[in-house]
Amino acid sequence: MLTGAVGGIGKIIRHRVAEFAPCVRISDLPGVLTSDAAPHEEVMPCDLADRAAVDRLVEGCNAIVHLGGVSVERPFEEILEANIKGVFNLYEAARLHNVRRIVFASSNHITGFYRQDEKIDAAARKRPDGYYGLSKSFGEDMAQLYFDHYRIETVSIRIGSVFPEPEGPPHDGELDERGRLHGTAAPQSVSTHRTSAIRSCSACRRMCTHGGTTVSSRIWASSRATRPNRSANASKRRPRPTRTTPLRCFRMARS
């Protein structure tokens, strides 16, 4: 299943994921997704903030490529509905319908407040540069939570830009249509070949040998924040048993 099928990346990979499944369910907002579909496609419009609609959307799927949601900096209320509530609705529906593998479209804006001259990788501490980046950080954490509790595997791809051919290191202004929380951070750029974006979708089939959640990124940090880079070392996590019941609360302190 592919969400965000009408978006920029969705249009690129929509007609090229047929090699992974005989039938691909495609989705986007009602009124945006047209009914013209290829023979291998099943069209199903859905508002990600509608929990019941997302449940129906995920039912019967084997894997999910999640590109849907707000893709630029917007007021928090707009980000909340699609990118935060929507991500929860998607993972909860995946749990209920036993979907074990997800590709999550994350963003380089998760690390948008590193200095422009710093080169970082996926292990660097998250420093979102706005509500949009914050929502993607939430999505990656949601993916980790649902692996730890339910063994749903996720590949999170921190996307900056997708071009027909790879381009060089980033320069100021490439993504300036995306606002910043205080207007002080210069934009980031990650050049990703279209073929690489498509190949990333096949990662779901290979994750079973590694398990857990995987963050894939090729990032040149390019913000003007002055705080130093504090890369977090990867920590070993104790395996937890698989759970089949919904989370009801988080215990904040020992009684």
Catalytic residues: 132
Distances (CA, A) of 102 to 28, 35, 114, 184, 214: 17, 25, 28, 34, 11
- Identify residue 60 by its one-letter amino acid code: G
Instruction: Show the CA angle centred on residue 26, arms to residues 20 and 28, nearest 5°.
Output: 145
Is 147 in contact with 243 (CB distance < 8 Å)? no
- Amino acid at the residue 184: T
| Per-residue DSSP letter, 63 | E
Backbone phi, then psi, for 59, in 5-degree steps? Answer: -55, 130
Give the angle subtended at the CA of 83 by the CAs of 110 and 2, to the nearest 5°.
100
Burial of 143 (0-12, 13-18, 19+ CB in 10 A): buried
Q: Which value, in Å, is the radius of gyration of the alpha carbons in the chain?
A: 18
